[in-house]
């Protein structure tokens, strides 16, 4: 009995000692903000109801990026929210300021859609996202065309054959205008969510090009799921006692985590990783070939619907990079990420991406995908010796640079202007 009483008394004494030490050293603010102010907390989802209140007992209510249920999209980002790492506008797009519904004359709109990779998970700011980097690349290209026009193909084809041959080596000019790239992605979205987003939101803004960067979430989502939902409320209703037990456990965890002894241990002894690798598991990928085929077929079906919907718009579908595509040149941190995922993860992930690649590339008939270009970026970082991945799919700022440049190469083709035929009448005036 004395021993049992001594344990809580000992913890109480340790708690008081830690609080005193933190106060004396002036680390109170640092300790209080160590978890809530981290990128991991900033980018973790916080599910709210229609009134902005959290659902009790849900683990998806612990982050700072607010989302809410949507009968159309499955779930969506709450509009008009701001953090030092990100800003969300009134339409749920990741950008500062609001995008007007009516497109100004001379503006080209490029929407980047997808899951957390397209969203720019863990990026230091909106400016570090793929969409923002694409916009800068396109605008810089227009400046270069204006400043050094001789470095690009001319507006009109020359008359002499040797001149025609000489301009073939020059890069195409891009259409003149104001290029605006918008992040319309949401962490966790599958192709089903993305299709709904296109239908009910993005197409209303008259996109000139849609970039869909995805693949991973479809490969690890059961084939029975039409789209991703952040919480399985049917399961909660079927087993309310399980949810109540989880709620009680969560309340205890919150109290336990509020202790300075626990905070200090997590902050300075065992610092928490920002990678959140526990959300990624090998068993999320299909264990048998038939299930994998059904998941890929769901993905192909949704892409066909996207192609029909965007028939008047250029669409670029990019199979996203993933850490197993970089296996030969992993950094120490990336090796740890892969190790933490377990021994089965690499084989399952690689097999899933290889099957997706094999099914998509050779089979797609032009009649179904006339306006869609599919590019495979799964192994984009296979020769990249620096760290790229912060978890299996999310990238650091430097890696986002490379991904943006790769997508920019495709946009140069989409927005290229070919020289007009030689006009002898016009040239002589």
pLDDT given at position 279:
84
Q: What are the residue ranges spanned by the domains of the chain?
A: 92-229+281-418
Burial group, residue 173, by CB count within 10 angstroms (0-12, 13-18, 19+): buried
Q: How many alpha carbons fall within 13 Å on the CB side of residue 374?
A: 24
Q: What is the structure's pLDDT at 417? A: 86
Pick the closest to residue 265 from 275, 256, 252, 276 (CA basis).
256
pLDDT at 368: 74
End-to-end CA distance of the chain: 106
Which CATH number is 92-229+281-418's, of 1.20.1300.10, 2.60.200.20, 1.20.1260.10, 3.40.50.1110? 3.40.50.1110
Q: What was the pLDDT predicted at 168? A: 67
The pTM of this model reads 0.83
What's the order of all strands across the beta sheet hosting 65-70?
45-48, 65-70, 74-77
Tokens of 159: 């008359």
User: For 125, how many CA atoms within 13 A lie in the half-sphere containing its CB?
Assistant: 5
Question: Considering Cα of 285, then 289, then 291, then 297, what sign does the dihedral take?
Answer: positive
In sequence order, what DSSP letters do the residues of 212-259 get, joined into one string? EEE-HHHHTS-TT-SS--SS-HHHHHH-HHHHHHHHHHHHHHHHHHTS
Which neighbouring-strand residues pair with 196? none
Which candidate, 307, 308, 301, 341, places its Cα nearest to that of 324? 341
Each residue's pLDDT, cut to its tens digit, for the chain (429 residues) gives 444 444 466 656 655 665 555 455 555 555 555 455 688 889 999 988 877 777 665 555 568 999 999 999 999 999 999 999 999 999 999 999 899 999 999 999 999 999 999 999 999 999 999 999 999 999 999 999 999 988 877 665 654 455 556 566 678 889 999 999 999 999 999 999 999 999 999 999 999 999 999 999 999 999 999 999 876 544 444 444 443 444 444 444 444 445 444 444 444 444 444 434 448 999 999 999 999 999 999 999 999 999 999 998 999 999 999 999 999 999 999 999 999 999 999 999 999 999 999 988 755 556 778 889 999 999 999 999 999 999 999 999 999 999 999 999 999 999 998 766 666 555 444
């Amino acid at each position: 009995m004395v021993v049992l009483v001594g344990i809580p008394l000992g913890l109480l004494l340790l708690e008081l000692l830690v609080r005193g030490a933190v106060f004396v050293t002036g680390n109170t603010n640092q300790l209080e903000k160590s978890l809530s102010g981290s990128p991991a907390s900033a980018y973790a989802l916080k599910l709210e109801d229609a009134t902005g209140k959290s659902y009790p007992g849900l683990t998806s209510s612990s982050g700072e990026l607010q989302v809410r249920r949507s009968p159309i999209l499955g779930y969506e980002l709450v509009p008009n929210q701001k953090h030092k790492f990100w800003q969300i506008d009134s339409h749920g797009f990741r950008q500062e300021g609001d995008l007007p519904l009516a497109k100004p004359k001379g503006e080209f709109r490029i929407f980047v859609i997808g899951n957390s990779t397209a969203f720019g998970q863990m990026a230091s700011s909106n400016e570090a996202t793929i969409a923002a980097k694409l916009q800068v690349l396109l605008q810089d290209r227009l400046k270069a065309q204006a400043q050094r026009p001789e470095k690009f193909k001319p507006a009109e084809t020359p008359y002499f054959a040797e001149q025609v041959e000489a301009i073939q080596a020059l890069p195409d000019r891009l259409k003149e205008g104001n290029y605006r790239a918008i992040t319309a992605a949401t962490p966790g979205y599958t192709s089903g969510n993305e299709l709904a987003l296109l239908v009910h939101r993005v197409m209303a803004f008259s996109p000139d090009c849609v970039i869909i960067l995805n693949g991973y979430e479809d490969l690890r989502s059961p084939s029975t799921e039409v789209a991703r939902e952040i919480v399985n409320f049917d399961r909660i209703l079927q087993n309310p006692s399980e949810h109540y037990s989880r709620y009680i456990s969560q309340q205890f965890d919150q109290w336990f985590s509020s202790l300075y002894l626990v905070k200090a241990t997590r902050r300075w002894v065992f610092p928490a990783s920002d990678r959140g690798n526990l959300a990624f598991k090998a068993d999320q990928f299909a264990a048998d070939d038939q299930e994998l085929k059904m998941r890929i077929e769901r993905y192909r079906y949704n892409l066909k619907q996207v192609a029909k919907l965007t028939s008047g718009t250029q669409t670029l579908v990019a199979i996203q990079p993933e850490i197993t595509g970089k296996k030969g040149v992993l950094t120490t941190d990336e090796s740890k990420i892969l190790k933490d995922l377990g021994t089965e993860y690499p084989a399952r992930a690689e097999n899933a991406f290889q099957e997706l690649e094999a099914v998509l590339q050779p089979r797609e008939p032009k009649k179904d995908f006339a306006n869609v270009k599919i590019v495979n970026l799964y192994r984009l970082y296979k020769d990249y010796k620096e760290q790229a991945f912060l978890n299996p799919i999310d990238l650091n700022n430097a890696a986002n640079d490379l991904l943006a440049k790769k997508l920019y190469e495709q946009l140069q083709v989409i927005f290229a202007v070919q020289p007009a035929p030689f006009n002898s009448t016009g040239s002589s005036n």
